[in-house]
């Protein structure tokens, strides 16, 4: 254990840009505790590791799990990107990016390819990730079986026994009732052939990007105090049946701004007569597409 | 024409500037001082300290001011500060028997050794608005000044010890069977947490739980959702010494005094696992907060259902339900996180609903005789 004296005199504390706080806000022993949890999570892909989540200066449910994970793995050389709903410019993404800029002084970016750590809520970037990147997910409810079984004691037992009949029945009932699997986001996956895992509330469009992803994927649920992980190049299969295979969302039309046909689109209401348009949810990918086509950047500013 | 939305940073800055102006209010009204909050809104400060698990009146007052009087927001501010503080040791258990008491009552005995000490309380006040308080300047102070002697009753015998002697009251918990008192803020809560050895961590969770939540839980047991029929064996409020033995010294020293409220409730045991007797519930809270101390002791008793082999009929008897839902920092954050953008999920739901309706329509068109559209 690091003693208090070492913790206070730690070099990082002297270097921190925010006076009175350690580098990346958390003290070093907390970071070490979280990193130990992450190591266990990587060793047992998809297994939810309990950890002593800290109170962060942002509300629970607003990304404190992801923030604690990022704070534990970030170093001075890292380049950080933060997205929410696929965009770098949504208010909570701005707030989290500022928090890390203020407490670590690391370089931040909006470009997926330049980032070494990408913290995300609800999306996986469209740009493929590489081995030098870590994708950190903010997770509100880590337990994929929670809606089927409210008790944590029970769900942990079900995972331990690999007893996933409940989930199969749910999917079967969906097909019976609707003719399709009626889960549009937070679509459960099976990791490395063992644990059923919540991918966090990403649209199911993004699920295939998790499979054999070269980047390390870390998940933090602050309020529920759970960590889990998908190591690089791990099998991640979205749950389905042979005769009702998993499918992703599709749109009839391309992105109205960049013309992309194979990205996740947000629907934007244009006026009160109900006219609407579809645009890329990943604002960085959309801007890159437009730049490639020589279109000018548009903004409110 | 829609354009990609930019400007989140500017919007946040502007919103925070507006918040600062709103906090200050009209400039011709004098600004609140922390001392005014500490002394004149003391119960707000006490509540914030209790739920933040940090005893520090000046910082709690600052949090109340910064939060514009939103006490849950103030709790959050103080918690977020507390979590950054180093832990340099554990105190000895506070000795509430030697409390310097400002108020002590027992509802089970008409009189008892040490007597009933009513002390400062809202009880028995008539809740009539006191218009004289609306005058702040020049009003003569008619109340007697606080004197130390009045608040200096120490070492009162415990009201419940008379029952102990007769063997009617279950003995106080044998602490040797309890796990080492875990620090909930340093180690995650382990469920099911329903055994007698888990009582310390349950009490720790209740002590920092939301007052309103505990009040509702306690109330639910009294109305029939879980049978607890409590009597207030003893309620005491006052100052206790905080004693620590620093690593570098081998003798204990008094670090200071804390104000605390302690409640011992007793309720008749109606189960069959023990002979007829009285069982205990315990509440201990920072500051002056009798409502919470009493609620805590009732909920503590209710949560012992499994240990005492009682039927679990109400939510207040379910440790997972109570312990996981009483923290207002967790609850407030998660309930309000739905203010965050959810365009992506919402879009996913929209397209799912559309495709399901489309599929349903096609199926209905294909076999109109079936007529099953739901």
Do residues B78 and B101 both lie within one domain? no
The rounded distance, in Å, linking the Cα atoms of A115 and A109 is 6
Nearest CA in chain A to B341: A85
Q: Is the Cβ of B185 closer than 8 Å to some Cβ of chain A?
A: yes
| Closest approach of B278 to chain A, Cα-based (Å) | 31
Q: Provide the 3-class DSSP secondary structure of residue B158.
A: coil
- Beta bridge partners, B105, equal B235
Tokens of B270: 């109606």
Chain A neighbors of B187, CB-CB under 8 A:
52
- Shortest Cα distance from B281 to chain A (angstroms)? 25
Domain membership of residue B344 (yes or no) is: no
Are B165 and B295 members of one domain? yes
Same domain, B194 and B45: no
Cβ atoms of A134 and A73 closer than 8 Å: yes
Beta carbons of B116 and B104 less than 8 angstroms apart: yes
Last residue of a domain, one of B82, B104, B137: B82
* Residue B341 belongs to some domain of the structure: no
Considering the domain architecture, whether residues B302 and B202 belong to the same structural domain is answered as yes
Mean pLDDT over residues A221-249, rounded? 95
Q: Which residues of B11-37 are buried (b: 16+ CB within 10 A; e: fewer)?
A: eeeeeeeeeeeeeeeeeeeeebebeeb
pLDDT of residue A268: 87
Q: Which of B3-7, B69-73, B109-113 has the lowest mean pLDDT?
A: B3-7
- Write out residues 145-164 of A within 8 Å (CB-CB) of B: 151-153, 156
Enter the tokens of residue B312. 């679990």
Q: For residue B32, how far is the Cα from the chain centroid?
A: 26
- Residue B146 — very low, low, confident or very high, per pLDDT cuts 50/70/90? low
Q: Which of A51-60, A199-208, A265-274 has the lowest mean pLDDT?
A: A265-274
Q: Are β-strands A134-138 and A117-121 bridged in parallel, bridged antiparallel, or unpaired? A: parallel
The answer, yes or no, to whether residue A6 has pLDDT greater than 50, is no
Taking the Cβ of residue B186 and every Cβ of chain A, the question of whether any pair is shorter than 8 Å is answered with yes
Residue at B365 is within a domain = no
Examine the domain organization and report whether B109 and B248 are in the same domain: yes
Say which residue, A204 or A9, is predicted with more confidence. Answer: A204
Whether residue B336 and residue A51 make contact (CB cut-off 8 A), yes or no, is no
Residue B322 to residue B319: CA distance in whole angstroms: 5
Say what the pLDDT of residue B373 is: 45
In terms of C-beta distances under 8 Å and separation of at least 24 residues, what long-range contacts does A4-9 make, across chains too? A4/B86, A4/B88, A7/B86, A8/B86
Is B177 part of a structural domain of the chain?
Answer: no
Question: Which token pair is B113?
Answer: 């050794």
Q: What is the ipTM of this complex?
A: 0.78
Cis peptide before B192 (omega within 30 of 0): yes
> Helix B42-52 and helix B57-66: axis angle, to 10°?
100
Residues of chain A in contact with residue B74, where contact means CB-CB under 8 angstroms, are: none
Asked if A52 lies within 8 A of B347 by C-beta distance, the reply is: no
Q: Is the pLDDT of residue A4 over 50?
A: no
Average model confidence (pLDDT) across chain B: 87
Task: Give the model's confidence band at B157: pLDDT under 50 very low, under 70 low, under 90 confident, else very high.
Answer: confident
For an interface test with B, the pick among A34, A59, A122, A153 (most B C-beta atoms closer than 10 Å) comes out as: A59
Name the percent of chain A lying above pLDDT 90.
79
Q: What are phi and psi of A230, to 5 degrees?
A: -125, 115
Backbone dihedral region for residue B256 (phi beyond 0: left; psi -120 to 50: alpha; all else: beta): left
Question: Does B41 lie in the same domain as B110?
Answer: no
> What proportion of chain A, given as a percentage, has pLDDT over 70?
93
What tokens were used for B281? 């519930």
Task: Say if residue B214 is in the same domain as residue B282.
Answer: yes
Task: Spell out the alpha helix ranges (H) of B25-133.
Answer: 34-40, 42-52, 57-66, 71-82
| More confident: B144 or A23 | A23
The values of phi and psi at residue B236, to 5°, are -130, 150
Is B126 contained in some domain?
no
| pLDDT, tens only, B301-350 | 999 999 999 888 999 999 999 999 999 999 999 999 999 888 888 988 98
Shared domain check, B163 and B292: yes
Chain segment B277-312, per-residue pLDDT in tens: 899 999 999 999 999 999 999 999 999 999 999 888
B chain contacts of residue A178, beta-carbon cutoff 8 Å: 356, 359-360
Instruction: Look at residue B152 in the predicted model and tell me its pLDDT.
Output: 66
Tell me the C-alpha distance between B281 and B222, whole Å: 14
For B204, the domain range is 96-120+149-171+184-331
> What confidence score (pLDDT) does residue B138 get?
59
Residues 81-120 of B with CB under 8 A from A: 82-84, 86, 88
Are both B293 and B153 inside the same structural domain?
Answer: yes
Reported as a pLDDT band with limits 50, 70 and 90, residue B356 is confident
In a domain, B304, yes or no: yes
Point out the least confidently predicted range of A190-194, A214-218, B51-55, B309-313: B309-313
What's the token pair of residue B234? 């003893």
- Any CB–CB contact under 8 A between B325 and chain A? no
Q: Which residue in the set B6, B10, B83 is minimally distant from A55, CB to CB?
A: B83
Among A86, A140, A300, select the one facing B3 at the smallest CB separation: A300
| Residue A37 CA from chain centroid, whole number | 17
Is the per-residue pLDDT at B2 higher than 60? no
Residue B222 lies in a domain: yes
Last residue in a domain, options B56, B82, B108? B82
Q: What is the pLDDT of residue B275?
A: 85
Same domain flag for B71 and B188: no
- pLDDT tens digits for range A238-259: 999 999 999 998 888 999 999 9
pLDDT per residue as tens digits for the range B177-197: 555 677 888 888 888 999 888
- Which of the listed residues B53, B82, B111 is the one where a domain comes to its end? B82
Q: What is the mean pLDDT of chain A?
A: 90
Are B161 and B61 in a shared domain? Answer: no
Q: What is the pLDDT of residue A224?
A: 93
pLDDT above 80: residue B264? yes
Residues B281 and B224 in one domain: yes
Domains of chain A: 4-143+188-238 (3.40.50.11310), 250-301 (no CATH)
The Cα–Cα gap between A129 and A138 comes to: 18
Say whether B76 and A264 touch across the interface (CB within 8 A).
no
- Specify the residue for token string 């189960």: B271
Taking residues B13-40, report their average pLDDT. 95
Instruction: Residue B347: name the closest of A261, A204, A175 by CA.
Output: A204
> What is the tally of structural domains in chain B?
2
Closest to A298 (Cβ–Cβ): which among B4, B189, B330? B4
Candidate from A61, A203, A270 with C-beta closest to B344? A203
DSSP H stretches of helix in chain A? 4-9, 11-15, 28-43, 64-73, 91-104, 152-160, 165-178, 207-210, 283-292
Residue of A nearest to B72 (CA): A59
Residues of A forming the active site? 46, 255, 258, 280, 286
What whole-number distance in Å separates Cα of residue A32 and Cα of residue A252? Answer: 48
CB contacts, 8 Å: A270 with chain B: 2
In Å, how far is A164's CA from the nearest CA of chain B? 21
pLDDT over threshold 80, residue B228:
no
Question: B237-253, pLDDT tens digit by residue?
Answer: 999 999 998 888 889 99
pLDDT at A188: 97
What is the four-CA torsion angle of A46, A52, A54, A60, rounded to 10 degrees? 50
- Does B343 map to a domain? no
For residues A8 and B238, which has the higher predicted lDDT (pLDDT)? B238
């Amino acid at each position: 254990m690091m003693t208090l004296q070492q913790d206070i005199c730690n070099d990082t504390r002297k270097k921190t840009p925010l006076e009175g706080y350690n580098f990346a806000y958390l003290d070093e022993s907390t970071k070490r505790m979280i990193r130990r949890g992450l190591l266990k999570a990587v060793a047992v892909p998809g297994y939810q590791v309990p950890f002593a989540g800290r109170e962060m200066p942002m509300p629970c449910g607003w990304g404190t799990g992801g923030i604690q994970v990022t704070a534990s793995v970030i170093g001075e050389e890292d380049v950080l990107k933060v997205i929410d709903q696929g965009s770098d410019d949504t208010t909570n993404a701005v707030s989290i990016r500022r928090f890390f800029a203020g407490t670590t002084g690391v370089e931040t970016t909006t470009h997926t390819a330049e980032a070494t750590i990408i913290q995300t809520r609800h999306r996986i970037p469209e740009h493929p990730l590489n081995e030098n990147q870590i994708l950190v997910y903010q997770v509100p409810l880590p337990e994929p079986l929670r809606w089927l079984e409210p008790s944590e004691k029970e769900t942990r037992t079900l995972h331990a026994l690999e007893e996933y009949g409940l989930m199969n029945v749910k999917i079967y009932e969906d097909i019976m009732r609707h003719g399709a699997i009626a889960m549009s986001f937070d679509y459960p996956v099976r990791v490395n052939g063992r644990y059923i895992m919540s991918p966090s509330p990403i649209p199911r469009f993004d699920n295939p990007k998790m499979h054999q992803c070269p980047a390390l994927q870390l998940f933090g649920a602050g309020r529920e105090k759970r960590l889990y992980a998908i190591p690089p190049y791990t099998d991640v299969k979205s749950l389905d049946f042979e005769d009702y295979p998993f499918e992703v969302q599709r749109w009839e039309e391309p992105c109205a701004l960049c013309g992309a046909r194979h990205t996740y689109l947000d629907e934007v209401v244009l006026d009160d007569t109900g006219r609407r348009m579809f645009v890329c949810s990943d604002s960085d990918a959309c801007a890159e597409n437009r730049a490639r086509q020589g279109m000018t950047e548009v903004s409110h500013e | 024409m829609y354009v990609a939305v930019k400007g989140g940073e500017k919007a946040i800055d502007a919103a925070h500037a507006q918040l600062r102006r709103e906090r200050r209010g009209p400039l011709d009204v004098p600004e609140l001082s922390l001392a005014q909050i500490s002394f004149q809104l003391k119960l707000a400060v006490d509540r914030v300290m209790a739920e933040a698990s940090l005893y520090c009146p000046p910082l709690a007052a600052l949090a109340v001011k910064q939060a514009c009087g939103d006490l849950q927001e103030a709790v959050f501010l103080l918690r977020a500060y507390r979590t950054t503080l180093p832990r340099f040791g554990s105190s000895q258990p506070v000795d509430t028997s030697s409390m310097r008491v400002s108020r002590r009552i027992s509802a089970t005995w008409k009189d008892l050794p040490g007597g009933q000490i009513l002390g400062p309380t809202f009880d028995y006040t008539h809740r009539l608005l006191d218009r004289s308080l609306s005058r702040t300047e020049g009003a003569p102070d008619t109340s007697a000044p606080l004197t130390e002697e009045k608040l200096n009753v120490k070492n009162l015998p415990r009201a419940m010890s008379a029952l102990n002697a007769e063997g009617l009251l279950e003995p106080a918990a044998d602490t040797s069977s309890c796990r080492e008192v875990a620090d909930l803020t340093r180690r995650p809560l382990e469920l099911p947490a329903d055994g007698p050895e888990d009582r310390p961590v349950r009490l720790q969770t209740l002590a920092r739980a939301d007052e309103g939540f505990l009040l509702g839980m306690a109330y639910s047991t009294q109305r029939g959702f879980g049978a607890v029929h409590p009597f207030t064996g003893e309620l005491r409020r006052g100052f206790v010494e905080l004693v620590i033995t620093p690593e570098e010294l081998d003798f204990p020293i008094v670090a200071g005094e804390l104000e605390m409220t302690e409640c011992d409730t007793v309720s008749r045991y109606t189960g069959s696992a023990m002979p007829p007797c009285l069982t205990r519930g315990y509440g201990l809270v920072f500051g002056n907060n009798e409502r919470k101390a009493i609620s805590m002791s009732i909920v503590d008793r209710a949560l012992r259902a499994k240990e005492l082999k009682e039927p679990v009929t109400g939510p207040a008897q379910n440790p997972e339900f109570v312990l996981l839902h009483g923290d207002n920092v967790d609850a407030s954050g998660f309930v309000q996180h739905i203010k965050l953008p959810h365009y992506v999920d919402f879009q996913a739901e929209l397209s799912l609903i559309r495709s399901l309706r489309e599929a349903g329509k096609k199926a209905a068109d294909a076999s109109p005789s079936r007529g099953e559209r739901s």
